[in-house]
């Protein structure tokens, strides 16, 4: 969570889970709970999410993740994100899937690159939910390369 402004309270976490369930009901996709058999029943989430704010690249759907630190480095995020992207493109029929993070979140950059995404510096942006001047305000933007 070092690349997020704060930890969620229990009430905020419950509200977030309710929004995830609502997104599944409304659009047929969302953030999946990730279980690692014989390791842990819940290590975090990975999936697709409609970008909930206005930006030059919206409307958009992002692939995103949050995994507990003790489960980093095992390939869980890359494996699940690859499946989420496949699902979004092939089953849902999305035209594009994007991703973004703070400049310091190199681990997430690497996942995006393993997925085949490329940095689009012209689309980097200041996150509207982060206070101006905050160290996490600036975000780098990744997308899949377009053919042609």
In this structure, are residues 140 and 103 in contact, taking their beta carbons and an 8 Å threshold? yes
In this structure, are residues 130 and 5 in contact, taking their beta carbons and an 8 Å threshold? yes
Residue ranges of E strands in 51-137:
61-67, 98-101, 118-119, 125-126
Kindly report the average pLDDT of the chain as a whole number: 90
> What pLDDT, on the 0 to 100 scale, is given for residue 117?
97
The mean pLDDT of 90-103, rounded to a whole number, is: 95
If one counts the domains in the chain, the total is 1
Reply yes or no on whether the pLDDT at 3 is more than 50: no
> What pLDDT, on the 0 to 100 scale, is given for residue 14?
77
Residue 50 included in any domain:
yes
The mean pLDDT of 115-139, rounded to a whole number, is: 95
- Characterise 122 by phi-psi region: left (phi > 0), alpha (psi -120 to 50), beta (else): alpha
Reply yes or no on whether the pLDDT at 59 is more than 80: yes
> What pLDDT, on the 0 to 100 scale, is given for residue 6?
56
Residue 91 included in any domain:
yes
> What pLDDT, on the 0 to 100 scale, is given for residue 146?
74
Q: Supply the range of the domain harboring residue 127.
A: 10-143
- Whichever domain contains 36, its CATH number is 3.40.630.30
Residue 1 included in any domain:
no
Reply yes or no on whether the pLDDT at 106 is more than 60: yes
> What pLDDT, on the 0 to 100 scale, is given for residue 1?
42
Residue 92 included in any domain:
yes
> What pLDDT, on the 0 to 100 scale, is given for residue 16?
73
pTM value surpassing 0.85: yes
> What pLDDT, on the 0 to 100 scale, is given for residue 123?
95
Residue 148 included in any domain:
no
CA distance 36 to 111: 18
CB neighbourhood size of 123 (10 A): 17
Residue pLDDT, tens place only, 18-30: 888 998 899 999 9
Reply yes or no on whether the pLDDT at 137 is more than 80: yes
């Amino acid at each position: 969570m070092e690349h997020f402004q704060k930890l969620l309270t229990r009430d905020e976490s419950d509200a977030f889970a309710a929004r995830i369930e609502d997104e599944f009901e409304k659009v047929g996709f969302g953030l999946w709970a990730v279980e690692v058999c014989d390791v842990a029943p819940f290590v975090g989430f990975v999936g697709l999410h409609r970008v909930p704010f206005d930006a030059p690249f919206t409307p958009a759907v992002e692939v995103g993740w949050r995994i507990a630190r003790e489960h980093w480095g095992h390939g869980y995020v890359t494996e699940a994100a690859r499946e989420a992207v496949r699902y979004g493109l092939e089953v849902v029929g999305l035209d594009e899937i994007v991703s973004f993070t703070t400049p310091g979140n190199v681990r997430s950059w690497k996942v995006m690159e393993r997925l085949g995404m490329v940095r689009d510096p012209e689309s980097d942006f200041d996150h509207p939910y982060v206070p101006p001047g905050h160290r996490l305000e600036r975000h780098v933007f990744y997308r899949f390369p377009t053919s042609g």
